[in-house]
Amino acid sequence: MRIAVTGSIATDHLMMFAGKFTDTLIAEKLDKISVSFLVRDLEIRRGGVAGNIAYGLGCLGLKPLLVGSVGQDFAEYASWLTTHGVDVSGVRTSETRHTARFTGTNDETGNQIASFYPGAMSEDGEIDIISLANANAVDLVVIGAGDPAAMQRFTADCRAAGLKFAADFSQQVAFLDGESMRTLIEGAAYLFSNEYEAAAIEQKTGWTGEDILDRVETWVVTLGSAGARVERKGADPVVVGPVGDATLVEPTGSGDAFRSGFLAATEWGLPTERAIQLGNLMAVHALEVVGPQEYDLTPAALADRAKHVYGAEAAEEIAAHLPA
């Protein structure tokens, strides 16, 4: 299965606040909020949900096609992705806008306050996803958080062409309204969300969990420190616990890394339990470094950790598909 990944391609500016946001925010005054957090670190890293997912898939040997719009400042980032197994031929360069930029501040408990400048991403709607998919023998398009109009177009085009797609709203959950979400969900092969996003999707769409499972083949919900859950209509949920010895350093991109592991294992034909396990293992790789693409994926080390956390059989099945 060849996977194309759409969504944001961005530079991340990551900061750490030595405290808890909840100790600073006053619930009764949130309607007039004006706060500033003194941060101790600033890390500038490559990111964006599409870039992050593609990076993880590339490290796992899948050679994904990255699709999106960037600025003239993308050359070094493109070289990095290419070195790590990502096909960047589906990326277009804007003549006037910079590459998108994400700015996030994390507190000591892993909570995050962030903002996002779309830049060149605003031109994603000019991309013909079906022509790219046909030219590159793509079997699945991940429609990640990006320009909302482009997300709608990519979804409609995939649905019309009978091309499998995955819906992944992530940071756009706050922006999208219920009607937009309903359109993006209908007919998806996969719907990805975390627990908060799942609740927001149900609230905004007015659909129950059962209603959503009537419309998607597979709903994947990450549960943070509790692992992840996969649901399908008419089947019992599959829940897999976390990597218990994980050390939180910085959370940005851990959800994207999970998606790369889950999709890779699914492409390899491994069962759902294994797909969640590899997703959890990949998420921890991103969680234990500063920046969503700063982790090194060593097959032997990944297999050893899989054995330690999930047992010898899981490790053997996963290791059999890892790149040399």
Pair of tokens at residue 156 = 């409609």
Assess whether 256 carries a catalytic annotation.
yes
Of 73, 211, 256, 304, which residue is the catalytic one? 256
Burial of 30 (0-12, 13-18, 19+ CB in 10 A): exposed
Give the closest residue to 212 by CA, choosing from 185, 243, 194, 247. Answer: 185
- For 55, what's the count of Cα atoms within 13 Å in the CB-facing half-sphere? 32
Who contacts 91 (Cβ-Cβ below 8 Å, separation ≥6)? 9, 66, 67, 68, 69, 70, 74, 78
Distance CA 249, CA 235 (A): 36
Nearest-angstrom CA–CA distance, 50 and 67: 8
| Structure token digits, residue 27 | 């619930």
Q: Which two tokens stand for residue 245?
A: 């010895």
How far CA 149 is from CA of 131, 153, 212, in Å, comes to 18, 6, 22
The DSSP symbol for 9 reads -
Longest dimension (CA), the chain: 56
Q: State how far the Cα of 81 lies from the Cα of 114, in Å rounded to an integer.
A: 24
Nearest partner of 188 among 144, 235, 239, judged by Cα:
144
Backbone angles phi, psi at 178, to 5 degrees: -60, -40
Per the structure block, which two tokens stand in for 29? 């005054």
From CA 3, how far away is CA 19, in angstroms rounded? Answer: 40
SS (H, E, C) 110-122: CCEEEEEECHHHH
Q: Which residues are catalytic?
A: 256
